[in-house]
Amino acid sequence: MANTLSAEKRARQARKAYDRNRWYRGRARTFIKRARTLIDAGDLETAADGVQRACQALDKAAQKGVIHRNNAARRKSRLMKAFNQARAATQT
């Protein structure tokens, strides 16, 4: 429990930041999960759009400081790698 006014304000600010960060992080996770589901299902037409949306969500989260930019880059790289492997498997 906060004992001073400044500590109470910091607690309020921390809660607001937590809620805001959780929204961006959850949005990115949701889009990644959707894209991976589409890739696994073999629906590459829709998966391409899903991967693009996931990358945008990760970039936005990194821009807002919710996740580190290298974290976003790593996740995008892994997602694109899975997508490209699935696309190559269907073309062969």
Give per-residue pLDDT as tens, 68-89: 999 999 999 999 999 999 999 9
Which residues, 6 or more positions from 8, have their beta carbon under 8 angstroms from its beta carbon?
A: 2
How many domains does the chain divide into?
A: 1
**Residue 2's pLDDT band (boundaries 50, 70, 90)?**
confident
Q: Mean pLDDT, to the nearest integer, of 13-27?
A: 97
pTM of the model: 0.88
Token output for 71:
């974290």
User: Is the separation of the CB atoms in 66 and 24 below 8 Å?
Assistant: yes
State the CATH number of the domain containing residue 71.
Answer: 1.20.58.110
Token output for 70:
């290298």
**Residue-wise pLDDT tens digits, 22-67:** 999 999 999 999 999 999 999 999 999 999 999 999 999 999 999 9
Has residue 5 been placed in a domain?
no
Q: What is the pLDDT of residue 92?
A: 73
User: Is the separation of the CB atoms in 39 and 47 below 8 Å?
Assistant: yes
